[in-house]
Amino acid sequence: MTLFKPRKKESHKGTYGHVLLIGGSEKKPGAILLSGRAALRAGAGLVTVALPEKALQKFTKPFAQTLELMFERSSSKKIFAGKNVVGVGPGMGVDQKARSLLNSIFKKNSLPLVLDADALNIISENPKVLKTIRVPTVLTPHSGEMSRLCGRSVSYIQKNRVTVARDFAQKYGVYVVLKGFQTVIATPDGEIFINSTGNPGMATAGMGDVLTGVIASLLAQGLKFKEAIVAGVYLHGKAGDQVAARLGDRGLLATDVIEEIPFVMKELIL
């Protein structure tokens, strides 16, 4: 892996990109926090988390560990200004406000997109909306979300993971990260990558939110779209493997993986 190189001495925070993460809701404020912290640990210079007003009030007060993150209202008219990549979905819900927000993002955003969680659940109501997006886009579904997106059963998807991911990616012109054992990455032109990292201990809450942050972070830092996706999936799984080597495959937390990311990147730097 040669994608991670030593940083230049004259670096500053603006050198390594600004990630915008949109999600969260009053009942589910934590998922987007995981994405934001993961984006920072994966090397982004700046990370802004955008939430609805009620979630913003609830979110920023109790979490001391969010000190390095910046916060913004998801209704802000200047939300995309100065950002390099947008991640959308963790914890945002699927109510009418969330639907309207996602529709607005599709219309106004001109930055690369990472779509996960509730963004995928909303899209599954009308997957054709993906054909209206004019920016590089990656979807990161687990098998349940993929089932809703493509109208196939989970059991069918599990038996035909490569075919399902490739067909969807080519049909809608997007990148697909079909998460699970040996995560499948499919590109719009039909390329397939099978990830070699990850373990059963990562089958726990918040792991997908971490992956969203990692991929968005690598994109913000300037990696090419395909490279950022493949490297992000590998890095995420490798961090999980290193944690599992110490803790075992029970009780492994998404936050454990986040804190392991810099150690994995240090090993990968050439």
Structure tokens belonging to residue 135: 């920016």
What does residue 87 show for φ and ψ, rounded to 5 degrees? -110, 135
Question: What is the C-alpha end-to-end distance of the chain, expressed in Å?
Answer: 8
Query: Torsion over CA of 148, 151, 156 and 160, rounded to 10 degrees?
Result: -90
Residue 114 backbone class (left: φ over 0; alpha: ψ -120 to 50; beta: rest):
beta
Q: Is residue 164 part of a domain?
A: yes
Task: Decide if 48 contacts 72 (C-beta within 8 A).
Answer: yes
Is residue 3 assigned to a domain? no
Please say whether the beta carbons of 213 and 171 come within 8 A. Answer: no
The answer to whether 19 and 46 have CB atoms below 8 angstroms apart is yes
Cβ count within 10 A of residue 180: 16
**What is the phi/psi pair of residue 152, to 5°?**
-105, 155
Residue 7 lies in a domain: no
pLDDT of the chain, 270 residues: tens digit per residue: 467 788 888 888 888 999 999 999 888 888 999 999 999 999 999 999 999 988 887 765 545 456 899 999 999 999 999 999 999 999 999 999 999 999 999 999 999 999 999 999 999 999 999 999 999 999 999 999 999 999 999 999 999 999 999 999 999 999 999 999 999 999 999 999 999 999 999 999 999 999 999 999 999 999 999 999 999 999 999 999 999 999 999 999 999 999 999 999 999 886
Instruction: Identify whether 5 is part of a domain.
Output: no
**Does 2 reside within a domain?**
no
CATH of the domain at 138: 3.40.1190.20
Residue type, 53: E
Q: Are 232 and 215 in contact (CB under 8 A)?
A: yes
Q: How many domains does the chain fold into? A: 1
**Domain of 154?**
14-268
**70 neighbors 46 (Cβ within 8 angstroms):** yes
Say if 39 falls within a structural domain. Answer: yes
- Long-range pairs, 177-181, Cβ under 8 A, ≥24: 177/138, 177/139, 177/140, 177/141, 177/211, 177/215, 177/229, 177/233, 178/141, 178/142, 178/143, 178/146, 179/140, 179/141, 179/142, 179/143, 179/208, 179/211, 180/142, 180/143
Answer yes or no: is 68 within a domain.
yes
Please check whether residue 171 lies inside any domain of the structure. yes
Closest CA to 147 of 128, 164, 130, 131: 164
